[in-house]
Amino acid sequence: MERPGIGTAIPRRRYKVGGFTFVVLGDIESRDGREYRWILAAVVDGQSQPGMYITAERLPAAERARGAYGLRLILPGGSEVLDRSDAYRDLEAFTAAALNLARTVLNLGDEEPRRLL
């Protein structure tokens, strides 16, 4: 899986939904050339490594017509920018969008995320 190249990062939020824990990272030092604002990592209970990531990353200038930040979904089969918005610069806006996307992708239904941190 194409994992984000994280040198250092600080956990900002942690949530529990079903059999998953979601950690939102900020203050990210990137090792892969991408400018990450936030990263949501999804970890299946009992596993040590995330199986899915959702990132808010600053887009190249040529791609910013619809927003400066891309919402990228990273799965074992590849990655794709699904949305673009200036709003993803904000922690709350990113977290809400990323958790909704994660719940859809992982078929978690209407279960509400429980905030742990």
Domain boundaries, the chain: 6-108
Rounded CA-CA distance 2/52 in Å is: 10
pLDDT, residue 105, reads: 96
Residue 48, Cβ neighbours under 10 Å: how many?
6
Task: State pTM to two decimals.
Answer: 0.95
Residue 81 buriedness (CB in 10 A; 0-12 / 13-18 / 19+): middle
Q: Which carries the bigger pLDDT value, residue 1 or residue 42? A: 42
In the chain, the percentage of residues whose pLDDT exceeds 90 is 90
Rounded CA-CA distance 10/95 in Å is: 15
Using only the alpha carbons of the chain, give its radius of gyration.
13
pLDDT, residue 117, reads: 82
